[in-house]
């Protein structure tokens, strides 16, 4: 019984994202071209309240998304930009957007996606 559990554990994908995001396939959610209004407003409020300091070049946020064989989002990890509240808000936006755009695959797969933090 323990051997069976160990074999299953060995087949489970890592919940830790890869360290190199460059080779990951892109998950196209359309959030890089047109940020949702609620995200843009949230970012504006966080910066205005001085809870976050974003440089003018920090207009985009990359996130990795683990999609299961069944097509469900299992984990989302934002690239750290020094503002956890914005990172987590963006992860929620990605979760909502990905629910309708992920498809079942042959294995659990990490994808990378990008979210615009401010309107272009």
Looking at per-residue pLDDT, the higher value among 120 and 31 belongs to 31
Task: Say if CB 29 and CB 88 are below 8 A apart.
Answer: no
pLDDT at 106 over 60: yes
Sheet of 60-67, strand order = 73-78, 60-67, 109-116
The number of domains in the chain is: 1
| pLDDT for 112 beyond 50 | yes
Mean pLDDT, residues 78-84: 93
- In this structure, is residue 51 part of a structural domain? yes
Residue 100 forms part of a structural domain:
yes
Domain assignment present for residue 12? The answer is no
Token output for 70: 């069944």
Helix axes 37-48, 84-98, angle to 10 degrees: 180
Tokens representing residue 28 in the block: 């196209």
pLDDT at position 120 is 56
Inside any domain, residue 14 = no
Average confidence score pLDDT of the chain: 85
Domain membership of residue 15 (yes or no) is: no
Residues 2-47 have pLDDT tens digits of 544 444 444 555 788 999 999 999 998 888 888 889 999 999 999 9
Kindly state the helix (H) or strand (E) to which residue 40 belongs, with its residue range: helix 37-48
Q: Is residue 42 part of a domain?
A: yes
**Which range of residues forms the domain containing residue 101?**
24-116
In this prediction the pTM is: 0.82
DSSP single-letter state for residue 31: T
Model pLDDT, residue 93: 93
Res 86: pLDDT: 95
Query: What is the Cα–Cα distance from 37 to 105, expressed in whole angstroms?
Result: 31
Which residue is it, tokens 């990605």? 94
Average pLDDT value for residue range 95-111: 86
């Amino acid at each position: 019984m323990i051997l069976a559990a160990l074999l299953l554990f060995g087949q489970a994908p890592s919940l830790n994202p890869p360290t190199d995001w460059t080779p990951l396939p892109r998950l196209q959610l359309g959030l890089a071209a047109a940020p949702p209004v609620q995200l843009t407003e949230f970012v504006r409020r966080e910066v205005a309240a001085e809870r976050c300091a974003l440089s003018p070049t920090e207009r985009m946020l990359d996130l990795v998304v683990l999609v299961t064989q069944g097509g469900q989002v299992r984990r989302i990890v934002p690239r750290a930009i020094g503002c956890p509240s914005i990172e987590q808000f963006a992860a929620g936006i990605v979760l909502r957007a990905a629910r309708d755009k992920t498809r079942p695959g042959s294995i659990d797969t990490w994808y990378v996606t990008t979210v615009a933090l401010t309107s272009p």
